[in-house]
Structure 1
Amino acid sequence: MNEPVLARLHQLMTLREQVETLGTGGPWIPAADWTDEDTHLVLHVDVPGVTADTLELLEDGPMVTVAGERSAPDRLMAGDRPSGAFRRSLTFPQDVLPQTGEAQLANGILTVRFQKRHPTIDVDAEHLDSASTVTP
């Protein structure tokens, strides 16, 4: 299958998992963002209250999976925050070099940097035009 079809299939599977867990107090799914840093893609995942020793990161082809667990507070009387195990699979928005992920957990945010297969190169067109001008 090609990558757009796999990405769409993954989105449908994630949506199905979310629908199945509505109202069941089941697994929670942390919010995530991708950012572009020219030579790297960076994944940011909100995991407040999750300790580094419960986190897992698995890279598999065009996807990366983050899993972990957040314990419920002791002596909880009432609460809205989800707890327990989570598992979130995301499709890379661009090709990355395999096994280049570098993770850091700080302030409840898991940040993972992946080296791009084809880095973004910013070119200043004005600078190029002036450099190609030949003076007699």
Structure 2
Amino acid sequence: MLFDAFTNGFMNDIFEFGDRSKFNRSAWLSCWGPALELRETEDTIEVDVEVPGIDKQNLKVDLHGSKLTISGERKKPEEEKAGPLIRWSERCVGAFSRTITLPQPVDEKLIHASLNNGILSIVMKKKNPEFTTRIVEIQ
């Protein structure tokens, strides 16, 4: 039967723990997004993004209005031709992009980003709310 062929072939390859060379899980993990944390203080909005193994040259931070986008790429380690055959890999590799909506406006000139021990930290100064008084003429 077709279903038996499927379960005895493909499904066994996926769940076979003896010979992992048949199924390369790293192909599934090529599309990923790093974990992040957003905090708010009285004066700032702070975002920490977990990006271990990524150099700052491979990261980008963009602010468009109230949308903050963090993007980058974790490159696959170069394998030596004479090195060992990799039978199983769960490393997440490839490009990513995360966009979040900030809870309130920030001053686009007062943003600081730093990378330390695999954590990208972004600190943004909140914009001071501008309260204006306007007299509305009744017609």
Q: In 2, distance between residues paired with 1:93 and 1:26?
A: 30
Choose the corresponding residue for 2:36, options 32, 54, 57.
Answer: 32
TM-score normalized with structure 1 length: 0.64
Match of 2:17 in 1: none
Please say if residues 59 and 99 of structure 1, whose CA atoms lie closer than 8 Å, have aligned partners that are also in contact.
Answer: no
Encode CA deviations 1:39-91: one digit per residue, 9 max, x unaligned. 11101000000100111111011101011111122337121121111111111
Greater C-alpha Rg: 2
Give the share of equivalent positions with the same residue, in percent.
33
Deviant stretches of 4+, over 3 Å: 23-26
2:91 alignment counterpart: 81
SS in 2 for 1:69: strand
Contact 2:65 2:105 in 1 (8 A): no
Structure 2, unaligned runs of 5 or more: 1-26, 80-84, 130-139
Determine the C-alpha separation between the residues in 2 that align with 1:49 and 1:82: 10
The answer to whether the aligner puts 1:41 opposite 2:51 as a matched pair is no
TM value normalised by structure 2: 0.63
Equivalent position of 1:14 in the other structure: none
Does the CA-based 8 Å contact 2:29-2:91 persist in structure 1? no
SS at match of 2:107: coil
Answer whether contact 1:47 1:109 (CA < 8 A) is retained: yes
Q: Find the partner of 1:94 among 93, 101, 104.
A: 104
CA distance in 2, matches of 1:100, 1:110: 17
- Kept in 2, the 8 Å contact 1:64–1:90? The answer is yes
C-alpha distance in structure 1 between counterparts of 2:68 and 2:31, whole Å: 18
Question: Which one-letter code corresponds to 2:103 in the other structure?
Answer: P
Higher strand proportion, which one?
2
1:38 to partner: Cα distance = 2.2
